[in-house]
Amino acid sequence: MAKKLSFLNKLALNKELLEGGHRLCPGCGHSIIVRMVLNTAMQEGYQPVMANSTGCLEVCTGLYPYSSWNIPWIHNAFENVAATLSGAESMYKSLSRRGKLNNDKIVFIAFGSDGGTYDIGLQALSGAAERGHRFLYVCDDNEAYQNTGNQRSSATPYGTRTTTSAVGTADPIGKKQKRKDIMEIMAAHEIYTAQASPSYWMDLIKKVKKGLKQNGPAYLNVIQPCTTGWGYDPKDTINLAKLAVDTCIWPLYEIENRRSKVNYKPKNKLPVEEYLKKQKRYAHLFTPKGKEALEKIQQLTDEHWNFLLEREQAGF
């Protein structure tokens, strides 16, 4: 416990690399995750260089003539954060090789949300991962395109109401498809792939450290509660991030060298309702018409959770 606290104290004492005064909603999970990731990098003695895809985080921190960033930071477009950072990392390699730069502390970190990662940015991410650039890609997954007003993405779970998976008299469910399994897609690139939650911060930090140590790409999928899109009280951000893990909707696990490890197995696995009922995006499920969808969410969650446990047990 003492060790835990001293690390936390140190983290808290770090110079803020993401300044206050940005325009993210109160309670937004983006800034919490970014600070955990960047402070860990700094604590480890690294000098992070960051690229950000278009989205809430970018828009709320890089509004000319202001910037919230105390580190080198680049925003290019929505779908190309991985390609952009792969260019910067290649320049680093080139200049280092040519003796024009001497700094072995630099690490490259990309931040994208689900839209810029699972959807429009998937090709660039896959390309950069295959090429083997040394970078940590963090997906702040808030399960929709929040910056443009909460439209569905391929990360949006089954049964979610968004502004493009609307719920109405003719449609009581919302999104009909389940989430895209980005973890398996990224793991198929044979890179360090991990899923984390800001509620389990020691686990998240461990994964950041591991990701930054890779001599190549690493992918970190982090649940990022969004107060505005999900519809909950801003004070509950971390509570929700915890409930997502404790219901096994958002398992903490990692895949490395074709072997998976479930990092946390809740002793008391909570029913999915405990997590869903706190969010307006699922309010329609707590009506007679939503009963079936609720059961399906529980079923999908169990199937995935059991798959992870079985696979781990089988040694893969």
Ligand X SMILES: Cc1ncc(C[n+]2csc(CCOP(=O)(O)OP(=O)(O)O)c2C)c(N)n1
298-302: long-range contacts (C-beta < 8 A, 24 or more apart)? 298/271, 298/272, 300/157, 300/158, 300/178, 301/247, 301/248, 301/249, 301/272, 302/248
Binding to Mg ion, residues 138-167 (CB under 5 A): 142, 146
What is the Cα–Cα distance from 1 to 268, expressed in whole angstroms?
A: 23
What is the Cα–Cα distance from 255 to 114, expressed in whole angstroms?
A: 19
Binding to ligand SF4, residues 138-167 (CB under 6 A): 142, 146
Q: Check binding of 283 to other proteins (CB under 8 A).
A: no
Q: How far is CA 195 from CA 63, 101, 127, 162, 263, in A?
A: 30, 34, 21, 24, 9
Which range in 121-129, 141-149, 217-225, 280-288 contacts other proteins by CB under 8 A?
A: 121-129
Q: From the list 40, 68, 142, 237, which residue makes contact with ligand X (rule: CB under 6 A)? A: 142
Segment (H or E) for 43: helix 29-43
Nearest distance, CB of residue 155 and ligand X, angstroms: 8
Q: From the list 148, 214, 239, 263, which residue makes contact with ligand X (rule: CB under 6 A)? A: 148
Inter-residue contact 54 to 75 (CB < 8 Å): yes
Q: Check binding of 227 to ligand SF4 (CB under 6 A).
A: yes
Nearest distance, CB of residue 155 and Mg ion, angstroms: 7
Which range in 56-64, 171-179, 193-201, 202-210 contacts other proteins by CB under 8 A?
A: 56-64
Binding to ligand X, residues 150-179 (CB under 6 A): 153
Strands 106-113 and 47-52: parallel
The site for other proteins (CB under 8 A) is made up of 47, 49, 51, 58-59, 62-67, 69-77, 79-80, 83-88, 90-95, 97-98, 100-101, 103, 105-106, 123-124, 126-128, 130-131
